[in-house]
Structure 1
Amino acid sequence: MKRAIPRKLPGRREDGAATKAQILDAAGEVFAEKGFDRATGKEIAERAGSSSAAVNYYYGGIDGLYAEVLVEAHRRLLTYDRLLKLAQAPGAPEDKLRTLIGLVVRTIMGPASSSWSLRVLSREVLAPSPAFAVLRDREILPKKRIVTGIVGEILGVPHDHPVVARCCLTVIAPFVVMLVGNRQVLAQVFPDLASDRGAVDEMVAHFQRFAFGGIAAVAAELDARKEARSA
């Protein structure tokens, strides 16, 4: 019996790293279109020009592949290294948070909005799978520690102070709304929200304004409590 030969596509490299990357991208497209429950390793392999055996070899099966797709999708939104570099750079924490808000908003509203990465994350947010634990531990929690450090510095409290968590949730909430409400849906509900360069800049400024308005109010309340205790 002849051994099946994986289908080759023109222009594809045959080394292992390229094959693994091709499978990941093909899987991202399939998961974005169909969700984890309806995706199959066979379809993913066909799109990647590979074989189902390659999916198992590189990712240990479709469950492991989906977890890696989630991790890669979050990295495409914002990498840990870029976030760490921002946090460690000289400058005021307020400027760092403004920059962070701008990075995320521009990614969500930019060309990446039509890519599989944001659609996969949107599906996972709406219906978390067991693979969310992998995404949480490898991407979300490490990045969260950096962001809470920035916000804590602005407020003058430790990063694990409860008020920092509440402020971070408020800052992040609009991003989640933009993520799960894709551009077509948001355009139907709010047709005046354009997506050209000027509109994106205005959205960045708007989110920054609301984030810092809330943080300033919380900081003032913290200061008032400190004064009351020392009186």
Structure 2
Amino acid sequence: MVDRVVITNRQDALPERLNPFNIHIGDSAQFSANPKCGGDHQIDVNQPSISVSCLGMRGRYVGVRLPGPSRTLTLCEVQVFPGVNVAQGKPADQTSTYRYAHHGLASHAVDGNTDGNYYSGSCASTAHLPDANASWWVDLGESYMVDSVVIFNRMDCCGDWLNPFNIHIGDSAQVSTNPQCGGDHRIDVNQSSFSVLCPGMRGRYVGVRLPGPSRILQLCEVQVFPGRSSLHSVELLILRL
């Protein structure tokens, strides 16, 4: 079962060659005959990677294909992640909450629903009286080696409110005191999700923070995928298959 495929593009030159691309997943060695994960995908050429959600798809072979004639395919990394999101259903909190018709609760960002329409009732939001350093965090219940964090942004409007954002990972309940995963991150407002790689980081708490005054934080889902040392049971299952 494939949860998502992360494509890392060439960055020194010609990143636009990858667009558009398809992903095929299935059990046929003729991989282009396997079902497609979505349709044509586009990567922002200013970002090194794109995370493509393929929930519910299963297969032995995962392929990347450039549709059309006279194309050159360059890939710097392809990562395939099974469905082990350790944040889903865990306790979550935020610095404030916009409480309107039960929208905006912190728990909505870990409910397993990635719908980017805020009015569908599955996005978290801090108060609309903007916070300084508005923050959201999830308590994973125990410390994990974290491989990556996937952020799903609001898509019906206001997608630019998220930029720039920080990710903090560590064992302190004072989330902003935990180490940062990288520096300031930015999501392409035309893409629903953004995958941030955090290899080597460990923590019980994973937080998203908007640095600076007068910020409103809205998140439609946050997924946390553990690293190799936290996935022994999953790896054994894959070996059996």
TM-score, normalization by structure 1: 0.29
Q: Point out which structure has higher relative CO (alpha carbons under 8 A, 6+ apart).
A: 2
Q: Which has the higher strand share?
A: 2
Q: Indicate the structure with greater helix content.
A: 1
Larger radius of gyration: 1
